[in-house]
Amino acid sequence: MISSSHTHSVYRLLSTLKKNHNKMNEMSNNSNIIKLETLNTFLIKPSKPTPPNLKIFKLSLLDQLSPNIHGNSTFFFPHSHNNSFSHNSNLLQTSLSQTLSLFYPFAGRLQDGTGSTILCNDDDGVLFIESQTTITLSQLLTTPDLNTLECFLPVPTMENKNMLLLLRFTSFTCGSTALTISLTHKITDFNTFITFLKTWTTLCAAAKPVPLPDLTTASTLFPPRDLPEMSASYKPSSKNFTSRRFIFHACKIEQLKRKIKSETEFQPSRVEVVLALIWKSALSASRSKTQSFKRSVLFQAVNLRPRMEPAVPETAVGNFVWSFVVTVEEESHMVLHEIVKRMRNGMKEFIEKEAKTFKEEGGFKVVMESFKDRVEILTENENEGSMVIYKCSSWCKFPVLEIDFGLGKPVWNCCVNKLVSNTIALMDTKDGNGVEAFVTLDEDDMELFEKDEELLHYGVLNPRIII
């Protein structure tokens, strides 16, 4: 049953990629949106050869259970008067080559069907595309369109479809630039992505000391097993879906906190209150559409590194993320303070009963039992449609907008989701006090969701980004 389910997931993934590839070509050729011209394509290889004893890189159990799909992150940089686009591109490529010598698995290829090893063949390398647009950055950021932003992704082709890392560096007519990094989830979570960026930017600036990745802890703590390559966290939507961006300013978040604290015995966090509001609004949209209430499940991703005993180093490369489950069983539970209580209790239970035991001798059993529970929830919903499932990742407190390649700090960063519906991604606003939310829903749900009065009281729909 697991193998059959995985086969269907791969088929849906390939169909979705084909649909979105065609969509991006149409967008690129539409003069009313963006014209994107590829200038050059480079294959970047590690600057130093990988030692023979490191040619075969073992993934961890958690890597095996992660989907081999790419996460995409685009950084937008202001106009740099110091150097030309060509100079900056060469600097990025040279420092990337040096970085790949330290993160050598990123330049490799998955070796076998079980997804347990990567062949680190230095000749394979990663794709680096130079391109240019016909618009200015200010035009793009006046009303950012998350669907249009797909144009900035490095589009997979038959030649590079097996690459673990792809990049696109784009020039705007105003001299501003955009850098898109597309990195597989098979070996990276967001923490690993930030570790990679810290090393790359340090090498780009020729600074010292260079942060070194920890490439051994993951497979030591979670040795790979003989498992089929699959993931319970990925299920492409069969419907058309779309994304929206909301900003929750600090003053509005404080209002939400006060409102919820009056009904609870604890001080809620900004992530808890914003996520509760988004989930409640999404459920209201779903209920209005179907005219009936359905049980809902939220998979909330957690960084395991600081929550395991002893803690795992932040520099540990690989997937150290797991999701705990929060449920809304009855319509009466659809109030903000009740949702926040359920989130807080769910997190506490997960940390005490699962996260701390992941490293112990029975860790494999804990992981597989948790994984089995996730599969059962997704399978039940796929067969019966008895619940509404959402997935959330929070990147708040990660220094995303502090990343500096010598191009100046980015004015904005976004992660374009073109594969999965019913997802919520949270990030810090530029001042570090608010929350920026990227919400992806089926189109008919989104029509109701983005008009939700309570949501719009606390959040602002897609405001202009100031350069």
Active site residues: 185, 404
Instruction: Return left, alpha or beta for 291; rule: phi > 0 is left, psi -120 to 50 is alpha, else beta.
Output: left
> 459 by DSSP, 3-state: which?
coil
**Angstrom distance (rounded) from CA 409 to CA 401:** 6
Compute the Cα dihedral for 266, 321, 356, 432 and give only its sign.
Answer: negative
Contact 59, 164 (CB under 8 A): no
Q: What are the counts of helices (DSSP H) followed by strands (DSSP E) for the chain?
A: 12, 16
**Angstrom distance (rounded) from CA 343 to CA 276:** 8
CA distances 370 to 187, 233, 358, 377, 382, Å, are: 20, 12, 11, 11, 19
177-184 and 70-77 as β-strands: parallel, antiparallel, unpaired? antiparallel
Contact 452, 285 (CB under 8 A): yes
Cis amide linkage into residue 209, ω under 30° from 0: yes
Compute the residue count for the chain: 467
CA distances 54 to 51, 60, 104, 116, 121, Å, are: 5, 15, 9, 15, 10
Determine whether 213 is exposed, middle or buried from the number of CB atoms within 10 Å of its CB (0-12, 13-18, 19+). Answer: buried
Element spanning 444, H or E:
helix 443-449
In sequence order, the β-bridge partners of residue 183 are 71, 165
> 41 by DSSP, 3-state: which?
strand
DSSP codes joined into one string, 2-28: HHHHHHHHHHHHHHHHHHHHHHHHHHH
E strand segments, 102-237: 109-110, 117-119, 126-133, 165-171, 177-184
**Angstrom distance (rounded) from CA 98 to CA 93:** 9
For residue 218, how many other CB atoms are within 10 A of its CB?
24
Element spanning 196, H or E:
helix 190-204
Contact partners, residue 373, CB within 8 Å, separation at least 6? 325
